[in-house]
Amino acid sequence: MDKPDWNQLRAFLETAETGSLSAAARKLGLTQPTLSRQVAAIEQRMGVVLFERVGKAMALTATGLDLLEHARAMGAAAEALGLAATGRSQAVGGVVSVSASDVVAAYLLPPLVRQLRTQEPGIAIEVVATNALSDLLRREADIAIRHVKPEQPDLIARLLREATAGFYASEDWVRVHGHPRSAEDAARLPFVGSDRAGQFLGYLRQHGLPLQESNFSCFSDHSVAHWALVREGLGIGAMMDEVARSTPGVVRVLDEVPPVRFPIWLVTHRELRTARRIRAVFEALAHGLA
């Protein structure tokens, strides 16, 4: 076999990691037929069968499993090369991607992005709104705003502060239901839920609220949509205090219940931290969010 084609190797690696041609194509920004051709090409190039179809999934053959770790090593080396090259770049202009939860992306980041554009007009900010932890090692984002401390040694993180969240309802809701103060008051009232699997309910119970599934009037695992349902008067919901204070028409309720406390971490890859544009954005966000 001659020198491997990196695009074909990447197609093999992502298909193996996701188990699906469609999922791998979305991740790589390709059409499914293009990705399928790349997988077929590397199989022809190597003279082996790497996958077999199991329903809609792509299962690795024994040969594919044997080659997977080698492909992962090559992928990691390519990513490290890209990180090092980005880190050595001293250009102030360019795009910097910042991932954050949907609430932080919608309410806290926009004024900071506007300020950054004034300070550094050559830098464009891509806001990645996701409640999942972006993989900085695989360049899903250059900088991440997280609520948990990162564990990977190649990441550097700065703890900015501890934030709080409380329980809120709309003014119209309070006029109808009254102003509940205690955890006991909450037992008879409607709430806006975050999921139907019971995780949010379990968390509220751990926080001292004696709720049942029947307390939830509606659900949304998207925090911005969750907040919109609260503002519409559908029940009590939780929100970061600084976001709630800037939202007209909502009232703090369950005042006797302790606030939820959580950290705000700013995280980037060690190599990326040496790039001027990423360093500039990192420091601006650290200042603005603190």
Q: Are residues 114 and 132 in the same domain?
A: yes
Q: Is the dihedral of CA 276, 282, 284, 286 positive or negative?
A: negative
Question: From CA 90, how far away is CA 96, in angstroms rounded?
Answer: 13
Give the list of residues 6+ apart from residue 99 with CB closer than 8 angstroms, or none. 128, 129, 130, 134, 140, 141, 143, 144, 145
Residue ranges making up the domain that contains 184: 163-262
Helix orientation angle between 276-289 and 109-119, rounded to the nearest 10 degrees: 130
Q: Is residue 198 in some structural domain?
A: yes
pTM, rounded to two decimals: 0.65
Q: pLDDT tens across 178-200, in order?
A: 999 999 999 999 999 998 889 99
- Specify the 3-state DSSP secondary structure of 112: helix
User: The domain spanning residue 46 has which CATH number?
Assistant: 1.10.10.10
pLDDT truncated to tens, each residue of the chain (290 aa)? 556 677 788 888 888 888 888 888 888 888 888 888 888 888 888 888 888 888 778 888 888 787 777 777 776 666 665 555 555 444 456 889 999 999 999 999 999 999 998 988 899 999 998 877 655 555 678 899 988 888 877 788 899 999 999 999 999 999 999 999 999 999 999 999 998 889 999 999 999 999 999 999 999 989 999 999 999 999 999 999 999 999 999 999 999 999 999 999 999 887 666 678 888 899 999 999 98
Identity of the residue numbered 167: F
Count how many domains the chain has: 3
Question: From CA 211, how far away is CA 246, in angstroms rounded?
Answer: 28
Give the list of residues 6+ apart from residue 225 with CB closer than 8 angstroms, or none. none
Q: Are residues 99 and 109 in the same domain?
A: yes
Q: Are residues 80 and 140 in the same domain?
A: no
Task: Identify which of 268, 7, 33, 288 has the alpha carbon closest to the alpha carbon of residue 152.
Answer: 268
